Amino acid sequence: MRRWTRDDIAMEILQLYASGGELNYSSMAETQPSLLRAATRHFGSWRSAVEYAGLSYDQIRKYRSWTRARIIARIIELHQQNADLSWRNVSEKADPQLAAAATKPRGFGSWQAAIEAAGLDYDAIRRYRRWDEARIVAGLRELAAQGVRLNSKEAQASYITLFAAAVRHFERWDRALEAAGLNARSIRMRAPFQRRRTHRRSLVELFERRQRARRCSK
């Protein structure tokens, strides 16, 4: 028979939480009765044990089971946020509970199956390269060297992955541009506004030439 200490119990609770396990009282009574008994004996109640582990008992009590529909919805939500959906990132950082639920037999059995059930291309996700600040800066410099317009509107339309990563890391697109050694103000003022302004100057000059020609013809 295992001899539980208070810290052993807390560690077991945290491991279950990290793996996506359901920690409400009824689930524990069904799946982890020995842990539940030890927690009640050492802490007086399951709630006290959960809170000793640093978790919110009220949140755990409201915990909703991971259904297939909920797994798919969460994957799509992360995808829309341009998150890295590689197995490593999701299981370690983005949402460990989602990763655990998706790979359980009552989920989809594997991360690939869950990704494909959400209508996403698993091969593309597996090839995802993580955007860090150095890669963002290098990407911006490369595009600038190619003469690509890098104002916010153009970037969102043509380079949404880079744009989203830049905003995530630098908080603002302008800051990412400045980090790459580019003049954000100049880029904002360039194209189509600058073209319109040049066009307006040309029209003014044309009008003035016509006026001078009319005066000379009189």
Q: Which two tokens stand for residue 169?
A: 């890391």
pTM of the model: 0.40
Q: Which two tokens stand for residue 144?
A: 């600038």
Under a CB-based contact definition with an 8 Å cutoff, are residues 150 and 140 in contact?
Answer: yes
Res 47: pLDDT: 92
Indicate whether 195 pLDDT > 50: no
Sole residue written with tokens 């698993």: 122
Under a CB-based contact definition with an 8 Å cutoff, are residues 127 and 85 in contact?
Answer: no
pLDDT digits (tens, 9 = 90+) for 49-70: 999 999 888 777 755 567 898 8
DSSP 128: P
Name which of 59-68, 100-109, 182-191 the model is least confident about.
Answer: 59-68
- Residue 12 C-alpha from the chain's centroid: 29
Mean pLDDT for 3-24 is: 86
The Cα 58–Cα 47 span in angstroms is 9
Q: Which amino acid is at 199?
A: H
Residue 172 dihedral angles phi and psi, to the nearest 5°: -135, 150
The Cα 27–Cα 33 span in angstroms is 9
